[in-house]
Every structure is written in C-alpha cells, then in structure tokens.
Amino acid sequence: MTDRPTPDQPHDLIGIGIGPFNLSLAALAHTIPGRPTTAFYEQRPAFHWHPGLLIDGATLQVPFLADLVTLADPSNPWSFLNYLRAQDRLYPFYFAERFHIQRAEYDAYCRWVSEQIPGLHFSHQVDAVRWNPGRALFEVDFTQLDADGEAEALGRAHTRHIALGVGTEPFVPEPLRPLAEAPDILVIHSADYLHHRERLLDAAHITVIGSGQSGAEIFLDLLRARPQGAEKLHWLARTQAFAPMEYSKLGLEHFTPDYSRYFHALPEAVRDTLVPSQWQLHKGIDTDTITAIHDELYRRTLHGGWPDATLTPGVHVRTAVRHSGTRIELHLEHTQQHTRTRLTTDAVVLATGYRERPLDTLLTGLSPHIRRDASERPHIDDTYRLGLDPAVTGHIYVQNAERHTHGVGAPDLGLAAWRSATILNDLTGATPYPLPQRTAFTTFGLTPHPAPKIPQQGPTLIPLARG
C-alpha cells in the first residue's frame, strides 16, 4: 500500500528516515480524519532499532507507555497494548507486570507498526532536498535500492513540508578511528556489539570503554560469559564514577513538555552550559544493571580470590596504536592523578555514544536559506520547525536533532508522541491532538511556562491535499 499522489498532487508531508520518531509521526498522521498525504523514505530494507544492542534481557529505560502514540492518543490503534492484543499476548503481559519492556520487544512492536502503515518506503535513499520557488514545493530526490543495496531506480517527489528523522550515528573517538576502520583489528562500536559477540568472546583480553548504559550492559554480558578467574576484562570510563542514572520522580520531569518549553525559552548561552551538566539524566547506568554487575563480581569471590576484571573511571584514551599484529595498545591518562600508563588488549568495545547526524549534507541545496545561531547550528523553533528564510514557505520539521534548542529530552522516547502531535497540529493548522497544558509538578523558572500554541481555525488553515 502507498500514499503516493500523482505529480500534480504533491504530498503534504515527506518524512526522511524511519526510526521510532518518524514512525510515531506516520502512525499519528495515519489516524487523522481526512489525513494529510504522507510518504516516508528509509534507506534500510526494513525497520530495525539498534539491532546490535538487543542483548537478552536488556530493557528500555522508559515505561511501555512511551510507545509511538499513547502519550498523545491512548486510543490509537498503533499503541503497544494494541500490538499485544493483535499478537494474542495481552493477558501474559498483564500477568508479567512489567512496566519496562525488553528492547527486543520494542523493536518487534515498531516493526509490526511499520509493516502495516501505508506510505512507508524502505530501501529508498534520499539524496537531496531542494526548494522549488515556482511551485512553492520541496523537491526530494531519492534512489531506490535493490536487495543488495545497489541503485535500482531514481525518483523525485514533491511535498509541502518535510520531517527530518535521520537519527544519530555512532561516535568513535578520534584516537581510535584508524583502528576501528582497520578490518583486522577488533575495535568495534557498541552499536555492532551482537554482530561481533562471538569474535569478542574468543579474544584473550577485552576492554570496554564508556560509562553509560550500553557500556554497562556489554560489560555485564561479557562478564557472565567469561570463565571464572580468567575473565580478563577491563572497563574504562572518562566520568569520575560508574554513576547511576538520575531516575527520581522529580528528576524525570526534565523529560516533560514543560521542561522542553522552558529550556527552549532560555538564552542560547545558558542552554549550552546546561546540556553537558545534565549528563547523569541520560548517560548514567540504571541501578538494576549496576546491582547485577556487582552481584556477578561478588559471586566470583565466594570461593576466594578476585575476578580478573578491572573497572577504572576517570580515565581517557590519549592515543591508540596497533601492537604485535592485531593487538591494541591504549595510552591512558588518569584525569585526577595526572598519571599515564599503557594497556595492551586484544579487543575494544567503544560504548562511546552517538552524535546527531549533520543536516547540512542532506540540505546542501537549502543551506543559504537556513538560519543559524552563534555556533552555526540551525535555529529550531518551539514547534520543531527549522528556521528558514521567509522565501521558503514550506516547513522542515526536525526530530532528534534539536538537543541544543530543546534539551536532554530530544532523543528520549517518552517525548516522541508529544513531539509528533505538536508537529501535526502545526502542519494541519488544527488540533487533531489536543496537548496537555501542564505535565510536571516542578515549575521551571520564576515565570509560568509558555502555554502551548493552539493553531487558529478558519482561513489560516494550511491547505492539505486529501488522498
């Protein structure tokens, strides 16, 4: 099934990328009466959410209510509970009493949605986006890929508006990039962990770098799989401790629409100081994983001796070189002691996080029209619209590339449905999804939160082509 208009009937919205955020947008758009015509393009052949990190037993760090639609529309047919009902698993889930579901289950749920909503085009790589002033439309050029990922056909679509959901990409620190790119050296990013797990387990010594949830889960998985007394594991981190994630009830209110609006209204310089200082809100380790790691280490001391596992925070990698063929030599510095040492290892797993994909490559043709801040980052308004020259009358909505303007909640699944609803309300000039006026007990700042914008009715409606 597709929602592809004829050339004379352009789309109302084209989404670029089909991760959870644009999938949420597609799901909520699909149930609007007389819905806007949409198409979403993704270069991968099917939906997969972090397949290299779907470790057995690993759970989401948000409740199951943070699905694609529920926090904007609990009655939506694409909710997680309706997925369970369709799979005849609603009662088993009820008795399991699980508020946090496994990542593999979330991946399966999203794939179920992606296989049923029309207008989702996988194996379609978007190559360029341009503004056509004569037609007052965006032109989107794409390449259709075959089963081997090779170019099969070229195409062009026109649309009034665009939603960018190109997501993030694995971050590899500069000192380790040459080794990560060498095919015979076992230096991998955590995003590919499961694809290389058997090779890693065959390595004599393994080093995990990174103090976040992914690093902790990978260290625990490797620890459980290694023989007692011969674990040969190192876990290194730049942070001063293997710290728990801030998961108190009031702390979680930083992931509410209220805080997003408050953060957006702050001066740019203030926002830039806040984001790095809030790392424990989203880069810490959940307490269950910390407990499981300590329990496993403790279990290995029951008959005397200590496990051959070294956990050292406060360390950064200065340089890294090849050693004795395929081994790796890490040159380390301790940030508090100001001491240096070397560590030789057979494999490195980089749990060093992700970075927002730059938008400029895709939007080269629009670069002169994009408004930027003092750090040359794009302006993004409170309805998630990219700041554009007034000559461009269409809107480009941004998903998960706005941490500098909206704060730590930008990549959080719990805000996905609310952000999608905000975008669709703005797109349609109506309120198909009424948004809550207040979402936190905390009042951020001494002035009230700006009220959500309510689109005006009547002649200001954005005209939508109906499919």
Predicted confidence (pLDDT) per residue in 94-151, tens digit: 999 999 999 999 999 999 999 999 999 999 999 999 999 999 999 999 999 999 999 9
For the segment 369-397, what is each residue's pLDDT rounded down to a tens digit?
Answer: 999 999 999 999 999 999 999 999 999 99
Give the residue-averaged pLDDT of 215-243.
96
Q: With a cut of 90, say whether residue 455 has pLDDT above it.
A: no
Are β-strands 38-42 and 11-16 bridged in parallel, bridged antiparallel, or unpaired?
Answer: parallel
DSSP 8-class letter at 102: B
Digit-coded pLDDT (tens) for 22-63: 999 999 999 999 989 999 999 999 999 999 999 999 999 999
CA distances to 212, 247, 249, 340 from 216, rounded to whole Å, are 6, 17, 23, 24
The pLDDT, as a whole number, for residue 10 is 96
Pick from 76, 63, 111, 82: nearest CA to 414: 63
| Average pLDDT, integer, range 303-314 | 96
- Average pLDDT score over residue span 182-190: 96
- Do 49 and 107 contact (CB within 8 A), yes or no? yes
CB distance 3 to 38 below 8 Å: yes
Mean pLDDT of 178-198: 96
The full DSSP string for 133-191 is TTTTEEEEEEEEE-TTS-EEEEEEEEEEEEEE---EEE---GGGHHHHT-TTS-EEEGG
The pLDDT of 453-464, averaged and rounded, is 48
What would the pLDDT profile of 332-347 be if each residue is shown by its tens digit? 999 999 999 999 999 9
What pLDDT is attached to residue 282?
87
| pLDDT at residue 424 greater than cutoff 60 | yes
Residue 467 has pLDDT above 50, yes or no: no
**Listed residue (102, 92, 12) closest to 63, CA to CA:** 102
| pLDDT mean over 391-409 | 96
Q: Chain-wide mean pLDDT for the chain? A: 93
464 pLDDT exceeds 70?
Answer: no
**What pLDDT is stored for residue 448 in this prediction?**
66
pLDDT for the residue numbered 8: 61
Cα dist from 39 to 16, 134, 140, whole Å? 9, 22, 11
pTM of the model: 0.93
The pLDDT score that the predictor gives to residue 360 is 86
Pairing status of strand 168-170 against strand 354-356: antiparallel
Burial of 113 (0-12, 13-18, 19+ CB in 10 A): buried
Q: Lowest-pLDDT range, 12-16, 169-173, 175-179, 276-280?
A: 276-280
Strands annotated E in 37-82: 38-42
3-class DSSP state of 328: strand
